[in-house]
C-alpha cells in the first residue's frame, strides 16, 4: 500500500501501456519524452515535507545523459560486451519501471548506470542541464509542413554543408522516431544525432518529421516530399526511410503503400512484413536483449518480407541500439541496399 504522499499511477497510464504492449509499440522514448496528457507522479516518503516532483523533462535529460555517455564511449571502442549488456538491460528496466509509477526511481537508475558507464570507460561525465535548443549541425532548420487534410507536420530538415557544390540533386533520408518521441530525436539524440551526421556524409538530406501521420499511410510522405522538393530540389529516385520501433512500423507501412517512391527501408527494433509487388529492399535490425519488441518478432517480419533481410545486434536493448542500428543501416544503404 503506497504512502499518502505517493499517488497511485493514473489508470490511463496502465491502459495505454497495455494497449501499446499488445501492439508491440512500447519504446523507451515513449517513457522519457511522452505521456504529455498524463499527470506527473510524485515520488517520496510519507511525511509533512513535500517530495520533489519528477517531470518528463527530468526523464528526458536523464536519457540524454545516457545517450551522450554511451555514444562517446562506443565511438572510442571502450564498451565491453558485458558492460554494453548491463547498461542496456538497466536502461530498459528503468524505462518499463515508469509504468509502475516509479518516475524518480527511473531517473535514479539511469543516472546510476551513466556513472557506472563513465567509470568503467573513462569518458567525461555528460552534463545535461537543459534540453537542446541549438543544433550542432549546419544547415539544420525547423519547418511545419501541411499534410493530409491540412494537418500540420513538424519537421527537422538537415541539409549537408556541401549541398551547394553538389553536381546533382541530393537524396533524402526520412527518419521516423519511436512513440512518444518527436521530430527532434534523430537530430538531438539517438546516438548524438548520428543519423544526421552520416546522412550528410552520404550526400542525403535528413528529413525527420513527427511520426504519427506516417503510421496511417503514404499521404504524409507525398506531402513532405513535395514540400522538400519545392524548397531544396531533391533526387526523388533516392528516397530512403529509416525508423525506430513505432517508426519502424510506419516505415514498413510506407514500403507497402508507396513502394515505387522508396529506394530502401531500414527498420530498427520493430517493423512489419512488407509483401507487396515491387517492394523496396528492407533491412530489419533486431536487438538481442530487447524486452519491448523482441528480436524474434523483428526476425519474423523480415522472414515474411520477400525483399527483407535480417540482422541482429548482440548485447543491445530497445533504445540504445539505435546508434549502432543507424550506422549499420546507412552502411547497407551506401552499399546499394543488397538483398
Q: Are residues 30 and 104 in the same domain?
A: yes
Return the pLDDT at 31.
36
More confident residue, 162 or 165: 162
Q: Does residue 72 form part of some domain?
A: yes
Per-residue pLDDT at 216 exceeds 70: yes
Mean pLDDT over each residue of the chain, to the nearest integer: 84
Q: Are residues 156 and 116 in the same domain?
A: no
Tens digits of residue pLDDT in 31-76: 343 333 233 333 344 445 555 688 878 888 999 999 999 999 999 9
Q: Are residues 184 and 300 in the same domain?
A: yes
Q: Does residue 339 form part of some domain?
A: no
Tens digits of residue pLDDT in 225-255: 999 999 988 999 999 999 999 999 999 999 9
Q: Are residues 315 and 194 in the same domain?
A: yes
Three-state SS for the chain is CCCCCCCCCCHHHHHHHHHHHHHCCCCHHHHHHCCCCCCCCECCCCCCCCCCECCHHHHHHHHHHHHHHHHHHHHCCCCCHHHHHHHHHHHHHHHHHHHHCCHHHHHHHHHHHHHHHHHHHCCCCCCCCCCCCCCCCCCEEEEEEECHHHCEEEEEEECCHHHHHCCCCEEEEEEECCCCCCCCHHHHCHHHHHHHHHHHHCCEEEEEECCHHHHCCCHHHHHHHHHHHHHCCEEEEEEEEEEECHHHHHHHHHHHHCHHHCCEEEEECCCCCCCCCCCCCEEEEEECCCCCCCHHHHHHHHHCCCCEEEEEECCCCCCCCHHHHHHHHHHHHHCCCCC
The pTM of the full predicted model, rounded to 2 decimals, is 0.84
Q: Are residues 18 and 144 in the same domain?
A: no
Provide the CATH number for the domain around residue 151. Answer: 3.40.50.1820
User: Residue 309: which domain range?
Assistant: 140-334
Q: Are residues 56 and 189 in the same domain?
A: no
Amino acid at each position: 500500500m503506497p504512502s499518502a504522499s505517493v499517488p497511485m499511477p493514473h489508470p490511463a497510464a496502465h491502459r495505454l501501456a497495455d494497449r501499446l504492449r499488445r501492439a508491440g509499440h512500447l519504446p523507451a522514448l515513449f517513457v522519457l519524452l511522452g505521456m504529455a496528457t498524463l499527470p506527473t507522479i510524485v515520488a517520496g516518503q510519507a511525511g509533512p515535507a513535500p517530495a520533489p516532483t519528477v517531470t518528463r523533462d527530468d526523464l528526458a535529460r536523464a536519457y540524454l545523459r545516457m545517450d551522450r555517455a554511451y555514444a562517446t564511449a562506443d565511438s572510442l571502442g571502450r564498451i565491453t560486451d558485458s558492460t554494453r549488456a548491463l547498461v542496456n538491460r538497466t536502461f530498459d528496466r528503468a524505462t518499463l519501471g515508469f509504468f509502475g509509477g516509479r518516475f524518480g526511481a527511473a531517473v535514479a537508475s539511469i543516472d546510476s548506470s551513466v556513472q557506472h558507464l563513465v567509470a568503467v570507460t573513462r569518458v567525461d561525465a555528460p552534463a545535461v542541464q537543459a534540453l537542446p535548443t541549438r543544433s550542432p549541425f549546419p544547415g539544420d532548420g525547423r519547418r511545419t509542413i501541411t499534410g493530409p487534410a491540412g494537418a500540420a507536420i513538424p519537421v527537422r530538415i538537415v541539409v549537408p554543408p556541401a549541398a551547394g557544390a553538389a553536381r546533382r540533386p541530393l537524396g533524402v533520408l526520412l527518419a521516423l522516431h519511436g512513440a512518444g518521441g518527436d521530430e527532434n530525436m534523430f537530430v538531438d539524440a539517438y546516438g548524438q544525432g548520428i543519423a544526421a551526421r552520416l546522412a550528410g556524409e552520404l550526400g542525403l538530406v535528413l528529413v525527420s518529421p513527427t511520426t504519427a501521420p506516417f503510421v496511417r499511410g503514404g499521404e504524409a510522405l507525398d506531402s513532405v516530399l513535395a514540400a522538400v522538393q519545392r524548397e531544396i530540389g531533391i533526387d526523388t529516385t533516392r528516397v530512403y526511410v529509416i525508423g525506430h520501433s513505432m517508426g519502424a512500423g510506419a516505415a514498413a507501412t510506407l514500403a507497402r503503400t508507396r513502394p515505387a517512391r522508396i529506394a530502401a527501408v531500414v527498420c530498427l527494433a520493430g517493423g512489419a512484413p512488407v509483401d507487396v509487388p515491387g517492394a523496396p529492399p528492407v533491412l530489419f535490425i533486431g536487438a538481442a536483449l530487447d524486452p519491448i519488441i523482441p528480436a524474434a518478432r523483428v526476425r519474423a517480419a523480415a522472414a515474411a518480407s520477400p525483399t527483407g533481410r535480417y540482422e541482429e545486434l548482440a548485447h543491445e536493448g530497445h533504445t540504445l541500439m539505435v546508434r549502432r542500428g543507424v550506422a549499420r543501416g546507412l552502411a547497407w544503404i551506401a552499399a546499394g541496399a543488397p538483398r
